[in-house]
Structure 1
Amino acid sequence: MTQLSDKVVWITGASSGIGEALAQRAAARGAKLILSSRRAGELERVRQSLPRPHEVAVLPVDLSRLDGADALAVQAAGFFGPIDLLANNAGLSQRTTTLDTGLPAYRQIMEVDFFAPIALTKALLPDWVARGSGHVVVVSSVFGHIAMARRTGYAAAKHALHGWYDCARIELEPQGVRFTLACPGFVRTNVSVNALGPGGRAYGKSDGDIDGGMDPAVCAEKIWRAVESNRQEVLIAGKERAAVYFKRFLPLSWYTAFARRLKVN
């Protein structure tokens, strides 16, 4: 089992939502934390709210413009020593149709949701292989398994994450590197507010499904329990988990007809 006590845990997207909740639950387990996101002020707020702020470091980074992941990983390790666990939580969604989504928006989503997690993971892998231990948890989504209108870029990025990390697991788990894919459904965060809307601007509104979703603290606890149990993947969802099984086990034409009837923002 992967225990968090006295481990060095690096969390991206840690300034709010699931990332902030992951920091709270990891700190409660005795981990030393490095918190990253674009918003330095909010990261400092999270740091001060934790029980041992002196064991928490703030490392601001804009993952949409990540340049030099290796240097950033060295900087992260400079706080408390080598990183034991990376939580790739930062993400960017969308609320636009296929016809209304430009290539710059698709590229931005892929930079944040796919290329940045891969770059950070690859920066840590050589040390983990040399040490024979390391763990990365990827906060994916039910959209890593299903499709829906107005989510072409987001679903594509999450599907890509599953492909990359499933392949990496086959290669590297025998060398002591573990991978956990966490797939939340609706969680009460700002994912819709911050999503890309028309023209690549922030959507600025929350979805009803998000507002009625799972408490981020509950989601974070389920993620850490999956990590502690060395789960390869965990689906963290309520009623929306039915769509995952529908897509997997029934004819695709049935799922397509079902998804076409759904009202989505």
Structure 2
Amino acid sequence: MTLYPINAGNFKLDGGAMFGVVPRTLWQRTNPADANNMIDLTARCLLIEDGNRLILIDNGMGNKQSEKFFGYYHLWGDASLESSLKKYGFHKDDITDVFLTHLHFDHCGGGIEWNKDKTGYQPAFKNATFWSNKEHWQWATQPNRRERASFLKENILPMEESGQLKFTAIPNNAILKNSELGFDIFFADGHTDKQMIPMINYKGKTICFMADLLPTAGHLPLPYVMGYDTRPLLTLDEKEKFLNLAAENAYYLFLEHDAHNEIITVKKTEKGVRLKDIHSAQDIFN
């Protein structure tokens, strides 16, 4: 097995929205904001090469939305899904599986693209199976008013229409062991219903793709919960449970949205679980 970090693009969001009720004077210590209160973020995906399978976890915003839409997210830098795959010698047609932690637009938008004459949409990964789970799929295709703006039908429905969609099993407890993709999955409901956190056994290490359970290293303190979370009190419990597991078992936490820290480890302190070390993906994956 070989792992590759895939940068699907950089963007900015309002720091207050990213940290909920936590005051800026606190969160700006780890996530400094610009004059418009915007903080640096990224869409860092993970590519798993395992035998004949090439599994991509999440795929960023994509590029099919309008200029006005992208104007809200202040795109920066020149990284893209295609160029990042090419860096490692891959093309979108090589991908066999696309695993989606959840179906918010910044995690799945790159999976669907315009067709040739822009009359409709088609999968950007024509040879891949798209993986979600039944409960989250229902949550996303019949969205609540809070999340409706994040679940864009043009990102979601073409996966099913193409016949390329499959669902993972849903465990009786929080962790699905040895899923169809070959890794464990931690299920979390605080951010959105049945978000999936992959836990990959790699060279004796456990690499956890943190998605929106832990967007950045600055979100380690338990009360630092995004304003976007639908059930923030549940997020508190889920973060506490997972971060304690991470500290006890020396998990490596792969951060999807932290523009400046790729992978971290954590430790238990008197103040709770806190940052231990920061690592580059190159150091951990090589």
- What TM-score do you get using the length of structure 1 for normalisation? 0.35
Higher strand share: 2
Q: TM-score, normalised by structure 2?
A: 0.33
